[in-house]
Structure 1
Amino acid sequence: MKVETGQRRWQALSICLVVAFMTLLDVSIVNVALPSIQEGLHASEGALQWILSGYALTFGLALVPAGRLGDARSRRAVFMWGLAGFTLASAVCGLAPSIEWLIVARLLQGVAGGVLNPQVAGLIQQQFQGADRGKAFGALGATIGIATAVGPLLGGVLIALAGSEEGWRWVFYVNVPVGVIALPLAYKLLPPPIYGEQKGMDPLGVLLLGLGVVAIMLPFLEAQEWEGAAKWALIPVGAVLLAVFTWWERRCKGPLVNFSLFRLRSYALGSLLGLLYFSGFTAIFFIFTVYLQNGLGSSALEAGLAVTPFAVGSAVAAFVGGRLVSRYGRALIVFGLVVVIVGLLGAWLAVELWPGKGVGYATALPLLVAGLGSGLVISPNQTIALSEVPFQEGGTAAGVLQTGQRIGNAVGIAAVGSAFFAAVAGNHGDWGAAFRLGLLVILAFVLAALAVGFYDLKAGHQPAR
C-alpha cells in the first residue's frame, strides 16, 4: 500500500475536514433557521419537517454507494464531484423563491453531502497508518462534534446579523465560498487513484439497500408530522428489504458491501456502538434548543450559546482521544461514555434546581463534561471500528458505519422527541419536566452503548494499531 508521508497528507486532511465540517454543519444549523424560513417563505410545519428530514434521508442513502464508488474508482474524483454538487445545491437553497424549491434543493444537498463523507474516512485509511491514523480520526471526530454542536450557534449569529425574515438564506450561502476555494485545493492535494481494478457498482444492491433504508428511516423522520400508526408498518418492510439485500450481497459476484467485514469484531461492535450512541447524543441539541426557545422564550442565538460548552469539550477531547486510542483502545471509549452519563445527569439536576431562563448558565458545566466524554467516544470508536478494514474498502466500510449513525440519529430524535412533546402536553406545558424526561431516554441509549463497550472490553479486544 502506498501511503504518502510528510506535510502534504496533513494538508489534504485539512481540506477533507473543512468540507466534512460544512456538510455535517448543515444537519444542525438549519434547526434554528426554521422560524426564519417559515416567516420568509410562508411554509407549513410539514414542509419545514422535510427541510430537516429530507436532507438526513438523502444523505443517508448516498453514503454506501458513494463509498463503494470511491473505493472502486477514485476517491479524489468522487470527493470533487460531491463538493461541486454540495456547493451548487447550497447556492440554490439560498436563492430559493418558494418552499418547494428549497425542499428539492435540500434533497440534492443531502445527496452531495452523503457522497462526500465516506471519501474522507477512506482517504484517512489510505494516507495514514498507526498512531497517525488515530490522530487523523481524532481530528475528524472533533470536526463531527463541533459541526453538530456549533450549528445552532452559527445559525443564530447569521440570523441575528441578516434579519429574521431573510437571515436563513445566509445559513446556506456561507457554504458557497468555502466550496469554491476547496475545489482546486482538493484537486491539488488529494491523492490520485492508486489501484487499477474497476469493480461494478451492483445496481440491484444499491436499489435494495436504498429502499430498505428509506422504509426504516422515514417513519422516524416523520414521527411528529405523519399522524397515525400506519407509518410504523414500513419498518418490517424495510427489515425484509435489508434481509433480501443481505441475501443478494452474499451471492452476487461484485457486492456493494463485503459482509465479511462484519466478521471483524472491531468493525461489528464499533458499528453497533456508534448506532446506539448517535441515537442519544444528537438528540441532546434538538430537545435543549426547543426547550430554550419554545419553553423559555430564548432567542436562536441564546440557544446556540447554551450548547457551545458541549462543542468545546467535544473538540478538545476528540483531539486527545485520537492520540490515546492506540494506547488504551476500547477502554478509552468506555471511560468516555461514563463521562457522558455523568454530564447528562448533571444537566438533569441543573434543570431540576434552576428551571428559569438562566438554565443555560446552570447547564454549562454539565454539558462541558458531557462534551468531553463525547469526544472520547466518537473518534476513538471510528478509529477502532476501521482499524482492521483493508484500505481498499475503507470508503464502503465508512459508508456503512455512517449509515448506521444516520439511522440511529433518526431513531433517537423520534424517540426522544416523542417523549419530550408528550411530556409537554401531559404536564400542562412544563418544559423543564419534558426536558428531563427526554434526557432519561437519551441516557438509555448511552447506557446501551456502554453495555456494548463493556462487552468488547471484557472479551479482551486489543487497542487500535
Structure 2
Amino acid sequence: MTSTPLQPEQTDRRRWFALAIVMTAAFMDLVDVTIVNIAIPSIQEGLGATFSSIQWITAGYALAFAAGLITGGRLGDIYGRKRLFLIGIGGFTLASALCGFAANSEMLVASRILQGATAALMVPQVLSIVHATFPAHERGKVFGLFGAVVGLGAVSGPLLGALLTEWNLFGLEWRPIFLINLPVGIAGLILGIRYISESKAPKALRLDLVGVALATLGLLMLIYPLTRGEELDWPLWGHLLMVGSLAVFAIFVRYEQYKVRKDGSPLVELSLFKVKSFAAGTAVQLTFGVALGIFFLVWTLYMQVGLGWSALRAGTTGIPFSIAVSVAAGISVQKLVPRFGRKVLQAGALTMVAGLLIYIWEADRYGMAIHSWQMALPLVVMGVGMGLIVAPLTEAVLSEVPRGHSGSASGLINTMQQTGNALGLGLVSVVFFFGVIDDGLAPSQMGMAFVDAFQNALWWAVGVLVIIFGLMFALPAHSRAAVEDGDGDDAEAQGSVALAKESALTP
C-alpha cells in the first residue's frame, strides 16, 4: 500500500534527472564550439596547421552539424529519441577523445567532422525528450532553464578554453579542451541509460536517404572550394564545384517535391517556404550565421595572432560580449518583443552594425596598441544587438507556420543557421586572408596586416547585417505568441525558441 504514493515522486525525480542529463549534453555541445575558437592559435602552433586546416577545424564541425540536424531529428522520431541521444552522446565523447589525441591537423579535422555529425544525432533529441517527459504546464520553467544554460555556456566556453590552454595541464597544451568532455560524456551516457524514458513519433516515418545525400553533397560543393580556394590559388575546379552546387540544390528541391507526392516523407517540408515569414526568417538565419561565422574566427585570429595576446587575455576580453548577449536576450523576450514586435529584431541588427563600426574605428585608431578595456564598448554594443535578435527570432519565424509543421520548421531553421555559420567560416579565406594576409610577410609586418584584415572582415559583416535588416521587414510585425495569450500547448514552437537560443550563440 505504501508504494502507491511513492510512485509519482519517483517519476518526478527521474524526469528531473533526465532533464539534467540532456541539458548537460546541450551545454557540452555549446561549450565545445566556443572553447575551440579561443584555442585555435595554440592548435595551429602545436600541429603546424595551415590556415585552411584551421578553417576546417571549425567549419568541418559546423558543416557536419548542419547537414545532420534534420536527419538526426528524423532518426530519433523513427527509432527512438533516447536511443539516438545515447548513440549521439557516446559518439560525441569518442570523437572528443580522437580530437584530444590527434597526431596531426588532418586527424583533428576528421575528428571534428565526426564530432559535428554525432552532435547532430544528440542535440535534436534534447528538446524532443523534454516534450515527451514534461507536461505542457511545466515546459515554460524548463525552457527558462535552457536560457540560463545558454548564457552560462556563452560565458564559460571562451574562459574555460583560455584557462585550459594557459594551464597546459600535464604538458598537453590545447588537448584538454577536448579531453574534458570524456568524464562528462561517459557520465551522461551511463545516467541516460537509467533515467531517460524512450519515446518515438506516433506516426511511422521514413528516412529520406537520397535527400540527405543531395543536401550534404550540395553543401560540400559550395563550402569546400571557399575554404581551400585562397590556399590553392582559386583553381578552375573550385569555381565549377560552386556553380555545380546550385544545380545539386535544384535537383534536391525537385526530389523533395517528388517525395511529397510519393510517400509524404521528404527530408525538408518545402511547403513551409510558401509562408512568407518563414521564408524570410530562414534567410535571416542563414545570413546571420554567415556574419557570426566570419566574426568569431577572425576576432580570435586578430587578438591572438595579430596582437600577440595570450589565450587567457583573449578569453577574458570576450566576457562583456557574452554577458551583454545574455542580459539583452532576457529583456527582449520578456519586455520588448511583446510591445514592439519586429522592431526589436531590426533594432538589434542596427545595434550590431553600430558595434562593428565602433570596433573598426578603434582598430584603425589604436592599431597594435589597443587594450582589452578599449574593446569592451564595441563588444557590449554588439552583444546587446545580438541578444535582441537571437532570443525572439525563431518565435517570429514560426509565428505563421502551421502547428503541425512546427517541429520540422524548427529543425530547418537551426540547419539554416548552422549552414550559414559553416559558409561564413569558409568565406574567412576570402574576406580576411585574400589580398591582405600573405605567408611571405615578415614577422614585423604580420601584426598590422592582421589589424587591416580584421577591419576588412568587419566591413563584410556590416554588409551582411544590413541585408539582414532588410530581410526582417518580411517578418510579421508582431508574432502570434506576442499577440495572443497562448495556452502553452504548442510545445514544438516553445522548444524551437530554446533551440534557437542555443544555436545562435554557437560561433
CA RMSD of aligned residues (A): 3.4
2-side partners of 1:133 and 1:114: how far apart?
23
Q: State the SS of the aligned residue for 1:199.
A: coil
> Structure 1 216/14 Cα, relative in aligned 2: closer, same or farther at 3 Å?
farther
Closer, same or farther in 2 for the Cα pair 1:323/1:7, shift >3 Å? farther
Partner of 2:208: 202
Q: In the alignment, does 2:67 pair up with 1:61? A: yes
> What SS does the corresponding residue of 2:199 show, helix, strand or coil?
coil
1:193 aligns with 2:213: no
> Which stretch shifts more, 21-30 or 267-276?
21-30
From 204, 207, 217, the counterpart of 1:211: 217
CA distance in 2, matches of 1:450, 1:129: 37
Structure 2 CA distance, aligned partners of 1:217 and 1:138?
Answer: 35
Partner of 1:255: 266
Aligned position for 1:177: 183
- For 1:278, the equivalent position in structure 2 comes to 289
Gap change, CA 1:33 and 1:334, over 3 Å in 2: same
Whether 1:418 aligns to 2:437 is no
Gaps of 5+ in 2: 1-10, 487-507
Secondary structure of 1:168's match? coil
State the match for 1:221 in structure 2: 227
Tell me the residue number matched to 2:312.
301
Map 1:65-80 → 2, pairs under 5 A: 65-80=71-86
Question: Which amino acid counterpart does residue 109 of structure 1 have in structure 2?
Answer: Q
Is the Cα contact below 8 Å between 1:142 and 1:318 reproduced in 2? Answer: no
Q: 1:409 aligns with which of 421, 431, 439?
A: 421
Counterpart residue number, 2:466: 447
Q: Which of 233, 239, 244 lines up with 2:240 in the alignment?
A: 233
Q: Find the partner of 2:90 among 84, 89, 92.
A: 84
SS of residue paired to 2:306:
helix
Compared with structure 1, are the counterparts of its residues 105 and 382 closer, same or farther at alpha carbon in structure 2 (3 Å cutoff)? Answer: same
Asked if 1 retains the 8 angstrom alpha-carbon contact of 2:321 and 2:380, the reply is yes
Percent of pairs with identical residues: 35
Per mean C-alpha deviation after superposition, the further-off stretch among 287-296 and 117-126 is 117-126
Instruction: Give SS of 2:267's match.
Output: coil
Deviates more, 1:184-193 or 1:120-129: 120-129
Shift of 1:334: 2.1
Distance in 2 (alpha carbons) for counterparts of 1:388 and 1:188: 39
2:386 corresponds to 1:380? no
Aligned ranges 1:303-452 → 2 under 5 Å: 303-324=314-335, 327-328=338-339, 329-387=341-399, 396-415=408-427, 417-422=429-434, 424-425=436-437, 429-452=448-471
Matching of residues 12-31 of structure 1 within 5 Å: 12-31=18-37
Instruction: Tell me by how many angstroms 1:141 deviates.
Output: 6.1
Return the offset for 1:228.
1.3
CA distance in 2 between partners of 1:177 and 1:218 (Å): 34
- Asked if the contact 1:121/1:394 (under 8 Å) is kept, the reply is no
CA-CA distance at 1:173 after TM superposition? 0.7
Instruction: Give the aligned partner of residue 119 of structure 1.
Output: 125
| TM-score, with structure 1 as normaliser | 0.86
2:249, 2:289 → 1: CA distance?
21
SS state at 2:207 partner: coil
Tell me the secondary structure at the aligned position of residue 205 of structure 2: coil
C-alpha distance in 1 between matches for 2:399 and 2:159: 34
Query: Which residue in the other structure is 1:105 paired with?
Result: 111
1:396 CA displacement: 3.9
Paired amino acid for 2:182: V
Structure showing greater Rg:
2
The letter for the 2-side match of 1:168 is: W
CA distance in 2, matches of 1:137, 1:340: 26
Q: Output the CA distance in 2 between the equivalents of 1:387 and 1:129.
A: 22
Unaligned runs of 5+ in 1: none
SS at match of 2:198: coil
Give the TM-score, by structure 2 length. Answer: 0.79
Give yes or no for contact 1:36–1:164 (8 Å, CA) kept in 2.
no
Q: How many Å separate the matches in 2 of 1:127 and 1:389?
A: 25
2:350–2:385 Cα contact (<8 Å) kept: yes
Cα deviation for residue 169 of structure 1 reads 1.3
Match of 1:289 in 2: 300
CA contact (8 A) 1:216 1:238 kept: yes
Deviation, structure 1 residue 54: 2.5
SS of corresponding position for 2:175 = helix
What is the distance in 2 between the residues matched to 1:124 and 1:372?
29
Cα distance, 1:395–1:62 mapped onto 2, change above 3 Å: farther
Q: Which moved more, 1:131-140 or 1:197-206?
A: 131-140
Cα distance, 1:351 vs structure 2: 2.3
Counterparts of 1:289 and 1:151, CA distance in 2: 13
Worse-matched range after superposition: 53-62 or 156-165: 156-165
CA distance in 2, matches of 1:113, 1:382: 21
Name the CA shift for 1:354/1:131 in 2 (closer, same or farther; >3 Å).
farther
Counterpart contact for 1:143–1:315, Cα < 8 Å: no
Distance 2:82 2:404 in 1: 14
How far off its partner does 1:378 sit?
1.3
- Total equivalences in the alignment: 460
Match of 1:51 in 2: 57
